[in-house]
Amino acid sequence: MAEKKHLRSSEWFNSSDKKMNFTHRSWLRNQGYPDDYFEGKPVIGICNTWSELTPCNGHLRDFAEIVKRGILEAGGVPLEFPVMSLGETLIRPTSMLFRNLASMDTEESIRGNPLDGIVLLTGCDKTTPSTVMGACSVDLPTIVVPGGPMLSGRFRGEKIGSGSMNWMVKERQKLEGYTDADFMEAEVCVARSIGHCNTMGTASTMATMVEALGLTLPGFSSIPAVDSRKKLFAQLSGRRIVEMVKEDLKLSKILTRKAFENAIITNAAVGGSTNLIIHLTAIAGRIGVDLKLEDFDSIGSKIPLLVNLKPSGKHLMEDFFYAGGLPVVLKELKELLHSDSITVNGKGFSENYEDAVCYDTDVISTLENPLQKEAGIAVLKGNLCENGAVIKPSAASKELMQHKGKAVVFESIEDYHNRIDDPHLDIDKDSVIVLKGVGPKGYPGMAEVGNVDLPEKLILQGVKDMVRISDGRMSGTAAGTVILHVSPESTVGGTLALVQNGDLIELDVANRKLHLDVSDAEIAQRKAAWKAPEPMANRGYVKIYIDHVEQADKGADLDFLVGGSGSNVERDLH
Ligand code: FES
Ligand code: MG
């Protein structure tokens, strides 16, 4: 017989100190577990981001029960626990402010408890990176169960995407005079089922990212939340994590530098969200992989766009699944990906995806005939963003990729709201909208406001896009020629803070340049006169966050959370 693996949980349940065992086991036995229940069995923590405040994850309570079926079948012991859940649609001022807090919750909940393996139940945008970050800092065998996208929306015969619809109804209110009744009707037509947003927004991007990193069973991420196969895969994930514990297949064995490169390439091919940059960088930091902002450009920018999904294209996640989903993309990218990267099922990429078949080439195209030749994120440099800024060319307007225009400056998001629709605002279609104070420290939390609406008077003239620059993020469901993540941010005195109305700004995406056309001497003079704004909070988590958050190019993690502390805890509780 093979030698039995030493289980971390046995230090709680089967140690030589019987008195300690008593403490740890007795209270658990109020659930009615038999006395040999924990003996020699891997204990699997099901880390659940279910919450009624996160509607996208509203089904994960049921999913946990399905995961448990698989764990029990495979001879493990499931113990479900809640962690802070971050929903995009309700929490103020922005869920991103709390991503790192949720990651700490996940990390300490895992490390402090008698767990051998982890299943992360995720869905809405931040629930994926926060839990993966936390799990990385402990580094146990871990598998991700992505909650899945909702069904396609339908509104008056038109197929509509959640998230993208936000921008559409706002525009229609201005152009077509939408009434309250129109809004009410649209509301219920968009979110038709359980699941996260159905565009290739941040949630779908994150689900795709975890599969491309090798952290889900192959094919899992694109299945709609309501599809029976979602449950099937959840059960299989439960079975698999028990095996992973036996194989000691820890996160650090899967999350190598190659895995991160695979995720960057895949994100470009699916037209994923710019938010990936920040989250992937933060995850890399936790697991000790060196990943720089420039890597997203050098590895991803030449990758063609293969997937025709909103916001870059026209279809939705449900169509993507019917067309064959992510397996088709990963098979098509075979030559570009590191095919030998190992995944949670212990197999490499090429083996996992070799049987994928495309059923709709309008949704998933080929490398020979891509939707766009170079689709990955471009990283800009220049005196306006010394540590970089990003733009998503697949969501931008071709004619604005090289542009020079006069800055129209807004000092804060409130300033923007107060003045943008002022009929006397000196702005035209060639102006460059500059928004300050929306970075990691400034907002605080780096809100998704970078894709600010154009002035109403220009929309009515038929202007569809303008260059916009900020230190914030944009929703993965948004589009436009939007320059984001300017680092260093304005609140810490980056050059962005010094831009004045009428300054000329030059954007040249082909040459990766973002330049403020003001002399160095003038910039230095303005800098000397610049005063840092008062911090936005003086107590609580927000103060910790403001004091410690890193800039966007480093993933906006808290400086003291970078890296990990492993799974060992020396001291017991008595
Ligand atoms: Fe939750 Fe979009 S609001 S995924
Ligand atoms: Mg979002």
Same domain, 118 and 226: yes
Q: Which H/E stretch holds residue 121?
A: strand 117-122
Same domain, 209 and 118: yes
Q: Does the residue 327 lie in any domain?
A: yes
Residue with the smallest CA separation from ligand 1 atom 3 is: 88
Residue carrying structure tokens 């303008």: 466
Mean pLDDT over 284-312 rounds to: 96
Q: Which H/E stretch holds residue 385?
A: strand 385-391
Note the helical H segments in 95-227.
99-111, 127-136, 164-176, 180-190, 202-213
pLDDT of residue 1: 42
Q: Does the residue 529 lie in any domain?
A: yes
| Ion ligand 2, residues whose Cβ is below 5 A away | 88, 125, 202, 475
Ligand 1 interacting residues, C-beta cut-off 6 A: 56, 87-89, 124-125, 163, 196-197, 201, 203
pLDDT of residue 175: 78
% helix, strand, coil for the chain, step of 5: 40, 15, 45
Q: Does the residue 93 lie in any domain?
A: yes
Mean pLDDT over 138-152 rounds to: 98
Ligand 2 center to 140 CA (angstroms): 29
Taking the CA of 451 as reference, the closest ligand is 2
Q: Name the percent of the chain lying above pLDDT 90.
A: 86
Query: DSSP for 475-518?
Result: -TT--SSEEB--SS-GGGT-GGGG--TT-EEEEETTTTEEEE-S
SS3 265: helix
Q: Return the CATH number at 478.
A: 3.50.30.80
Mean pLDDT over 49-53 rounds to: 98
Same domain, 412 and 343: no
**Confidence bin at 2 (pLDDT 50/70/90):** very low
Ligand 1 center to 274 CA (angstroms): 15
Ligand 2 center to 339 CA (angstroms): 30
For residues 308 and 371, is the Cβ–Cβ distance under 8 A?
A: yes
Ligand 2 center to 305 CA (angstroms): 21
Buried b (16+ CB within 10 A) or exposed e, 129-151: bbbbbbbbbbbbbbbbbbbbbbb
- In sequence order, the β-bridge partners of residue 119 are 46, 143
Same domain, 312 and 436: no
Same domain, 270 and 211: yes
82 cis-preceded (ω within 30 degrees of 0):
no
Pairing of strands 117-122, 43-48: parallel
Same domain, 318 and 431: no
Q: Does the residue 13 lie in any domain?
A: no
pTM for this entry? 0.97
Taking the CA of 202 as reference, the closest ligand is 2
- Is pLDDT of 3 > 70? no
Q: Does the residue 197 lie in any domain?
A: yes
**Confidence bin at 4 (pLDDT 50/70/90):** low
Mean pLDDT over 295-322 rounds to: 95
Same domain, 87 and 218: yes
- Alpha-carbon distance of 394 to 571, in angstroms, equals 52
Residue carrying structure tokens 């046995």: 10
Question: How many other β-carbons are positioned within 10 Å of the β-carbon of residue 177?
Answer: 8
- Is pLDDT of 556 > 70? yes
Question: How many other β-carbons are positioned within 10 Å of the β-carbon of residue 498?
Answer: 22
For residues 213 and 207, is the Cβ–Cβ distance under 8 A?
A: no
Q: Does the residue 566 lie in any domain?
A: no
pLDDT tens profile 64-118 = 999 999 999 999 999 999 999 999 999 999 999 999 999 999 999 999 999 999 9
Same domain, 398 and 517: yes
The domain tally of the chain equals: 2
To the nearest 10 degrees (0 to 180), the angle between helices 99-111 and 127-136 is 40
Same domain, 338 and 385: no
- Alpha-carbon distance of 345 to 104, in angstroms, equals 27
- What residues make up the domain containing 291? 41-151+193-353
| Tally: H helices and E strands in the chain | 20, 14
pLDDT tens profile 209-242 = 999 999 999 999 999 999 999 999 999 999 999 9
Mean pLDDT over 407-416 rounds to: 98
Q: Does the residue 123 lie in any domain?
A: yes
Question: How many other β-carbons are positioned within 10 Å of the β-carbon of residue 417?
Answer: 13
Same domain, 291 and 389: no
SS3 145: strand
For residues 191 and 55, is the Cβ–Cβ distance under 8 A?
A: yes
Same domain, 298 and 408: no
Q: Does the residue 24 lie in any domain?
A: no
- Alpha-carbon distance of 474 to 487, in angstroms, equals 15
Residue 83 burial class via C-beta count within 10 angstroms: exposed 0-12, middle 13-18, buried 19 and up? buried
